[in-house]
Amino acid sequence: QKEVEQNSGPLSVPEGAIASLNCTYSDRGSQSFFWYRQYSGKSPELIMSIYSNGDKEDGRFTAQLNKASQYVSLLIRDSQPSDSATYLCAVRWVTRDGNQFYFGTGTSLTVIP
């Protein structure tokens, strides 16, 4: 199993709908979780981080973490065409070997006007 897995998509949703992006990860001890957005030709930018089970909301974005099931998701409410981008899930582990930081392959989202 890869350390971090995402569906590559593409995921298409109509404008105003909820976009749901999912990510699963390997269990390697203490973890932190991040969602990045990357527009075509641009570098990644941080959207949200989450560290404990449950939901974390920031504007139209909600990150959900379920450590028992080893998944983290990102919900985008009231999706806008400007949300069209690739969304990268990242996980940071703290292990006996040190810190490890892995990115998923990204999910491409298209919001249709």
Partner 1 sequence: SAVISQKPSRDICQRGTSLTIQCQVDSQVTMMFWYRQQPGQSLTLIATANQGSEATYESGFVIDKFPISRPNLTFSTLTVSNMSPEDSSIYLCSGKGLAGTSTDTQYFGPGTRLTVL
| Sheet strands (E) in 1-113 | 4-6, 11-14, 19-25, 30-38, 45-50, 54-58, 61-66, 71-76, 85-95, 98-103, 107-112
Most distant pair of Cα atoms in the chain: their distance: 48
Binding-residue pattern over the window 19 to 58 for partner 1, x denoting contact by CB under 8 A: -------------x-x-------xxxxx--x-x-------
Taking CB under 8 A as the rule, does residue 104 contact partner 1?
A: yes
Minimum CB separation of residue 43 from partner 1 in Å reads 4
Contact 101, 88 (CB under 8 A): no
Alpha-carbon gap, residue 39 to 95, rounded angstroms: 32
Taking CB under 8 A as the rule, does residue 74 contact partner 1?
A: no
Minimum CB separation of residue 16 from partner 1 in Å reads 29
Task: Pick from 19, 21, 85, 88 the residue near partner 1 by CB under 8 A.
Answer: 88
The site for partner 1 (CB under 8 A) is made up of: 32, 34, 42-46, 49, 51, 88, 90, 92, 101-106
